[in-house]
Amino acid sequence: MSTRVLRTPGGGLSLRVTPRAAIVVALLAIAVFFLGAVSMTTGDYPLSVGEVIQTLFGFGDRSTEFIVTTLRLPRLLTALLVGGALAVSGAILQSLSGNPLGSPDFIGFTEGAAAGALLTIIVVHGGMLQVSLGALVGGVVTAGLIALLALKGGVHTFRLILVGIGVNAMLLAFNSYLITRASWQDGLAAQAWLVGGLNGRGWEHVGPVAIAIAVLLPPAFVYGRRLSLLEMGDDSAKGLGVPVQRSRVVLLGVSVGLCSIATAAAGPIAFLALAAPQLAKRLTRSSGPGLAAAALMGMLLLVTSDLITQQFLAGLPVGLVTGAIGGLYLAWLLVSRRGVSRAAR
């Protein structure tokens, strides 16, 4: 399918659209909406779609209102926001690094957020809100440290990835040390948080993530249009008028912010930032990162995983299911790359 360019009447704004990518985005949006409806209507207290709609407009009874607006809706919105944020964060990092393994899970951002949360749980004995703030601060501080260590004549993503992997290993050891020094109660709480989950998520988790996404997604999509040019190399991007270093700093900042706020809300959700962008890219067959498709794929994977845990795994943390999906994705990625390598010989 050929690419089409849509322009405003005055020609001041243009948008390049690939029909296949547009169809995939539409189908992903429909799937997310359908699974969201399933999530709102199924559970220990099944409800019809009509009862959910009536309750959302303020015409439900008190028990239905509690189930819909206090239990299910904030959980669903947290899943959608966290899934979208992690997927966009991963898509940006994978594009900047030119590596499908370039993910916040591997280069220290997620472990940094986990270190902040563990310090809050074990040292400060903070509550849910304090843990979320600790995770946010930990992720941002870690990203700043990695950027400083990797900064030499500008932001170079290859060096950033290598430094990030080293920092990630050190933070993993530090987090393990914290757990070994904690009391058994704090150790259990810390280990439960490290798995990542949506149990008990309420409106206090939805608000901060929604605000952060409303602030960070516009620059992500504006500067995301330059990712395809940056993938061509610095010299080519500069030749096409792209301010390379400024674009990378802004995109890295957006990626770190999205990853940190998502981890603060739901804990470290394993492999979502790694798998969602690649799955979306393969569906759209796009040469660029495709941030909209990646965001919807992240939402779809997390809502689906949460439904599986609720219906079949007695409410276990959703991070267990995303970890299993990520493991399958890595195995498939290795097999497919080995096939490509053999064909190239």
Q: Is residue 38's pLDDT more than 90?
A: yes
Q: State residue 302's pLDDT score.
A: 92
Res. 16 pLDDT band, cuts 50 70 90: low
Higher pLDDT, 102 or 143: 143
Res. 339 pLDDT band, cuts 50 70 90: low
The amino acid at residue 7 is R
The amino acid at residue 48 is S
Q: State residue 156's pLDDT score.
A: 63
Q: Hunting for tokens 């360019």 — which residue is that?
A: 5
Q: Is residue 343's pLDDT more than 70?
A: no
DSSP state of 125: -
Distance of CA 54 to the CA centre of its chain: 32
Give the span between the Cα atoms of 127 and 141, in whole angstroms: 21
Is residue 113 within 8 Å of residue 138, measured between CB atoms?
yes
Give me the percent of the chain exceeding a pLDDT of 90.
14
Give the span between the Cα atoms of 235 and 222, in whole angstroms: 21
The model's pLDDT over 118-150, given as tens digits with 9 standing for 90+, comes to 888 888 777 777 777 888 888 888 888 887 777
- pTM for this predicted structure: 0.85
Is residue 284 within 8 Å of residue 91, measured between CB atoms?
no
Poorest-confidence range of 182-191, 236-245, 331-340?
331-340
User: What does pLDDT average to over the chain?
Assistant: 82
Give the span between the Cα atoms of 84 and 103, in whole angstroms: 14
The model's pLDDT over 19-34, given as tens digits with 9 standing for 90+, comes to 888 899 999 999 999 9
Q: State residue 295's pLDDT score.
A: 93
Torsion over CA: 238, 244, 245, 247 (sign): positive
Angle between helices 203-224 and 73-97 (to 10 degrees): 30
Q: Is residue 9's pLDDT more than 70?
A: no
Q: Hunting for tokens 């990712």 — which residue is that?
A: 227
Classify residue 223 as left (phi > 0), alpha (psi -120 to 50) or beta.
alpha
Q: Is residue 197's pLDDT more than 60?
A: yes
Q: Hunting for tokens 């400024």 — which residue is that?
A: 246
Give the span between the Cα atoms of 59 and 75, in whole angstroms: 21
- Where helices occur in the chain by DSSP H, the ranges are 19-41, 49-56, 62-65, 73-97, 109-119, 128-150, 157-181, 184-195, 203-224, 227-230, 234-239, 244-266, 272-284, 291-312, 318-344
The model's pLDDT over 271-311, given as tens digits with 9 standing for 90+, comes to 888 888 888 888 888 766 688 899 999 999 999 999 988 88
Q: State residue 167's pLDDT score.
A: 87
Terminal C-alpha separation, the chain? 31
What residues contact 288, with CB distance under 8 A and at least 6 apart? 95, 227, 228, 231
